[in-house]
């Protein structure tokens, strides 16, 4: 299938199964108006995240990389009324836009946005004994993926699902000679997923409005 058809099929899927969502459409519009980069998950991907959360009955979710809160909204909607989602963001402007988008979606009561470098926030969370989380979505700076995965594991329980976005990157993930920090970080994550006996994992390539990329998904044994 020609590459251009990815977009048509993604558009078809979005229109059929993931459209007409006022809060998500408003979030994307607010992100664009505020100058945020359009690097959120796509509508079908966001829906998939929410479905995963519902499939496992998630009550506590950790997200690393908020941007304007698009994926946050998709995940937080899957929570029960007393559920909680903690999302970590380094950029105060992104966090401010996300806060507004999340409030507009009616989810402010269950989402906790923490601003600062995620590694530092995660260290503080571990020291404070936070967790266990039922689902962790890793979607921030890719070179730090191995550290974020380690932190997710430290705040997990048996059955926790850990999802990591952008692990294919137009196929560049198979370039063992790459010095691109995001590729080096992603390949290091694959090494951990392959060798860490505490998890069972796979990765799935995706094509669509966000190009050629993929998710890794792991479950803690
Ligand atoms: C790909 S975007 C997240 C997209 C979001 N998950 C969504 O799909 O709507 C990555 C976000 O991670 C943030 N980020 C980058 N480095 C970070 C770090 N060291 N700590 C926390 N957040 C970081 C960026 O500012 C950006 O907002």
Q: Is 94 in the pocket of ligand 1 (CB under 6 A)?
A: yes
Q: Is 154 in the pocket of ligand 1 (CB under 6 A)?
A: no
- Collect all residues with Cβ–Cβ distance below 8 Å to 169 and sequence separation of at least 6: 142, 182, 183, 186, 213
Containing 218, the helix (H) or strand (E) segment is strand 211-220
pLDDT one-digit tens code per residue, 97-130? 999 999 999 999 999 999 999 999 999 999 999 9
Which of 141, 142, 146, 185 for mutating ligand 1's site (highest number of atoms within 8 Å of CB)?
141
Domains observed in the chain = 3-220 (3.40.50.150)
- 211-220 and 199-208 as β-strands: parallel, antiparallel, unpaired? antiparallel
State the pLDDT at residue 2.
65
Q: How far is the CA of 91 from the centre of ligand 1 (A)?
A: 8
pTM above 0.95, yes or no: yes
pLDDT one-digit tens code per residue, 178-212? 999 999 999 999 999 999 999 999 999 999 988 99
Atom of ligand 1 nearest to the CA of 72: 9
Q: Is the pLDDT of residue 45 over 80?
A: yes
Q: How far is CA 3 from CA 100, 206, 211, in A?
A: 36, 12, 9
């Amino acid at each position: 299938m020609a590459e251009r058809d990815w977009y048509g099929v993604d558009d078809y899927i979005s229109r059929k199964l993931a459209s007409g969502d006022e809060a998500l459409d408003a979030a994307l519009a607010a992100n664009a108006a505020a100058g945020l980069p359009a690097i959120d998950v796509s509508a079908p991907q966001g829906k998939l995240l929410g479905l995963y959360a519902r499939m496992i009955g998630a009550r506590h979710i950790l997200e690393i990389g908020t941007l304007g809160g698009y994926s946050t909204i998709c995940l937080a909607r899957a929570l029960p009324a007393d559920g909680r989602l903690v999302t970590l963001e380094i950029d105060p402007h992104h966090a401010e836009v996300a806060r507004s988008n999340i409030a507009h979606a009616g989810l402010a009561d269950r989402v906790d946005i923490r601003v600062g470098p995620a590694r530092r926030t995660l260290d503080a969370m571990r020291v404070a004994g936070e967790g266990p989380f039922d689902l962790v979505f890793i979607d921030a700076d890719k070179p730090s993926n191995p550290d974020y995965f380690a932190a997710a594991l430290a705040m997990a329980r048996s059955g926790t699902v850990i999802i990591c976005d952008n692990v294919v990157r137009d196929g560049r993930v198979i370039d063992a000679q790459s010095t691109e920090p995001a590729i080096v970080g992603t390949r290091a994550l694959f090494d951990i997923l392959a060798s860490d006996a505490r998890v069972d994992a796979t990765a799935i390539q995706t094509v669509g409005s966000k190009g050629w990329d993929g998710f890794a998904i792991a479950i803690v044994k």
